[in-house]
Amino acid sequence: MKETSTSYPKALLRSAALTLLFFGLFLLTNWQLPVRELILSSPYFLVIFFLLFTVGKPNVVAHWKESLQGNPEKAVIFPLILIGVLYTYLMVHGHTPFKGSAGLFIFYLLFPTLGFLAFPKTALPVTWSDIVFVLLIVIPATSMSFGVGTSLPFNGSGFSNAMRLVIMISTVYSFNYIRNLPDVGFYPSFRWQYLFTALWVWLAFVGLVALLGYFGNFLNLKGHNILSTEFAYEWVKDFVRIFVGTALFEELFLRGLLQNILSKKITQSGKWPVYWKWGFAIFIGLSFITGYFVQLKMAWFPVLITVLVFIPAYFVEKQQTGIQGSFTALAITSIFFGLVHFHSGSLLFVGLASIAGWAYGYTYMKTNSVFYAALVHALVNSSEFLFHI
């Protein structure tokens, strides 16, 4: 208990320091905004990012869960606070959060917490309802809107999206604190080993795509002076925007939750070959359907990528002497991640997204950290200037 009591304030101080670092980047990339907008947005930035960097930390989770024991009704206070933060952010900018279907957002944000309170569970075993909960959170999140942008800062170029940040914080809270899923991995930490893992995975992916790009004629080495100060400034802005606004969100749901839960489900069943066969069959069919409707002449390409992802997963699983199922879950979520990019209209992009999904999922497996998976994700997305696909 003494160790927890001393580590808790240290965890808060580290979160505060990281928040101030990001606040500096926030000011650096939005210095051109009117002072009024910076004054309005800065308090919200500090509160939201402090919670983002804090809510998933194991020491903080342990400390906060103690106050919830025996008082389950107190569990709804935190999501209500998040709703208040987001709603006041909209209102101080002259917009109502209660217009149209957006008025249901309060029920949406309370849903996972109330659902897990109604059906309390221990960490294990995981069930199919856990995956259903993930999908019921993430699917509406991708289409929900208040009718106006909720970028942070509101009238700036956008450091991130306040609504998505609130959804992430609420989701981590509901799964970590109420569902009792202990290893989502949504908290910043620094380890050289994890950093090296993320960097070599990124370099391996870029090397593979560069090789494919050279032979496929989509490698783009012109038009960018990567040694210029202007390029470095724009790249940093782009990287931070992608990391916070896209990568963390997608990696939380796809890797920290979906892959994590699916891996546990397959492992506890003791029947990974059954999941592998069904996953392979289903995604072969979905890959062909995606190819048929997006670009008929290239319908074979996503099918080929599915084969190239699932077959190695099978042989790796067979060689595992301990826990089996993690690579099957990795293959399933990788292809799923690729196929949801069908909206790009490019099967090449769908295939590369599937391979990238493997890279992100592998990083998550090795680090058990959403933040390192998001780091690879942001590095990959901000390297797109090398390719024109």
* Side-chain half-sphere CA neighbours of 189 within 13 A: 16
**Range with the largest mean pLDDT of 1-15, 112-126, 137-151, 351-365:** 351-365
Q: In this prediction, what percent of the chain has a pLDDT beyond 70? A: 93
pLDDT band of residue 70 (cuts 50, 70, 90) is confident
Mean pLDDT of the chain: 89
pLDDT band of residue 1 (cuts 50, 70, 90) is very low
pLDDT score recorded for residue 219:
62
Minimum mean pLDDT among 160-164, 181-185, 319-323: which range? Answer: 319-323
pLDDT tens digits along 2-15: 434 568 999 999 99
Evaluated on CA atoms 335, 338, 340, 345, the torsion sign reads negative
Q: Tell me the C-alpha distance between 257 and 170, whole Å.
A: 13
Whether the bond between 9 and the residue before it is cis, its omega within 30 degrees of 0, is no
Helix (H) or strand (E) holding 92: none
Question: Residue 151 phi/psi, 5° resolution?
Answer: -65, 155
Cα distances from 293 to residues 65, 286, 330, 343, 348, in angstroms, run: 48, 11, 26, 11, 14
Please state the pTM of the whole predicted model: 0.92
Q: Tell me the C-alpha distance between 39 and 144, whole Å.
A: 27
Q: Tell me the C-alpha distance between 72 and 333, whole Å.
A: 33
pLDDT band of residue 386 (cuts 50, 70, 90) is low
| Cβ-contact 11, 189 below 8 angstroms | no
Nearest to 15 by CA among 186, 253, 197: 186
